[in-house]
Amino acid sequence: MVDLSTTYLGLPLKNPLVASASPLSKKLDGAKRLADAGVSAIVLYSLFEEQITHESLALDHFLTQGTDSFAEALTFFPDLDNYNIGPQSYLEHLTRVKKAVGIPVIGSLNGISTGGWVEYARLIEEAGADALELNMYYLPTNPELDGQELENTYLELVRSVRARIHIPLAVKLSPFFTALPNFARRIAEAGANGLVLFNRFYQPDLDIENLEVVPNLVLSTSLDLKLPLRWIAILYGRVPADLALTGGVHTAEDIVKAVMAGAKVAMCASELIERGPRRAAEMLAGLESWLVAHEYVSIRQMTGSMSQQAVSQPAAFERANYMKALNSYDDRLLY
């Protein structure tokens, strides 16, 4: 019998397939279907900094409106410092999901600045989350903002969240850093127990007829696996944090590649959105069949076996492979 079990963020998991944050977990039924299909953990859909901030400002407006004119209004509402504001439905949903599924549930916060909204990290823990994923999605557009300042902002946010919770903390990063290995190490030192590579910047499109910028959401394919695969293989064994691969996981073979590169788990959303939660059971059956066919007895046996530290040609992950890859097309040209 093949042992598919692994650990991630200190959590024992029955297999390495995790459902990443997506609309599938917005409803209790969707979360239950994911668990029934065999995923080992669920990352709940994200609670955004902007949601918390917007609702806080709106409530502040209505609580303070007119208080300068009517003295009796000063005590009509509770003090904001003691008023539990924000999207409580997220916390309530998390509690319901945790009670309904027999697998770990990971909360998700999406934001970049420090501030009062970070207090929701503690509330997510109190709602029953087994761990927290901090998704730092920020696209710097200001030419005055340099890389060091941005990195320091990230690090301060991680420290701030870490100080508020006792559960494990994973940080979901983009690939757009000048020295990613160094920054990944500093994120771990700031308090992250895991790194999730990578979040995806959704690229807008241009409507040239109506002269509008329009949202454009494109689901991933297995071709998107290569970028996180490369960096996980480079970081494995060099950063004191568990590694999770997300983006491009669509088949059992994709899971195998993720684990061989050094990921503790392979996170999947697009494939499950497109084909339904039951697809997870098919992927896991394919994973077990692959391990049996190749005479592996456990997932742990192959973890990191194709990382940069383990392969005979580690330079293939670096610049040395650049010219070789380009030259491979020389003989294919017909003109």
The answer to whether 167 and 123 have CB atoms below 8 angstroms apart is no
Q: What pLDDT is attached to residue 322?
A: 64
Q: Is the pLDDT of residue 212 over 50?
A: yes
What pLDDT digit, counting tens, does each position of 142-187 carry? 899 998 999 999 999 999 999 999 999 999 999 989 999 999 999 9
Q: Could you report the per-residue pLDDT of 67-78, keeping only the tens digit for each?
A: 443 333 333 333
Which pLDDT score, from 0 to 100, does residue 333 have? 62
Q: Strands, DSSP E only, in 16-130?
A: 17-19, 41-43, 47-48, 105-110
Q: What is the pLDDT of residues 86-140, one digit of tens each?
A: 478 999 999 999 999 999 999 999 988 888 889 999 999 999 999 999 998 777 8
Poorest-pLDDT segment among 25-39, 182-196, 296-310, 316-330:
316-330
DSSP state at residue 18: E
Average pLDDT over residues 244-265: 98
Tokens representing 114?
């420090």
User: What pLDDT band is residue 59 in, cutting at 50, 70 and 90?
Assistant: very low
Cβ pair 105, 168 in contact under 8 A: no
Its pTM stands at 0.86
Average pLDDT over residues 21-31: 95
pLDDT at 7: 98
Report all structural domains of the chain as residue ranges with CATH numbers, in order of start: 6-310 (3.20.20.70)
Q: How far apart are CA 23 and CA 30, in angstroms?
A: 8
- Return the SS3 of 267: strand
Q: How far apart are CA 21 and CA 121, in angstroms?
A: 16
CB atoms within 10 A of CB 165: 21
pLDDT, residue 140, reads 81
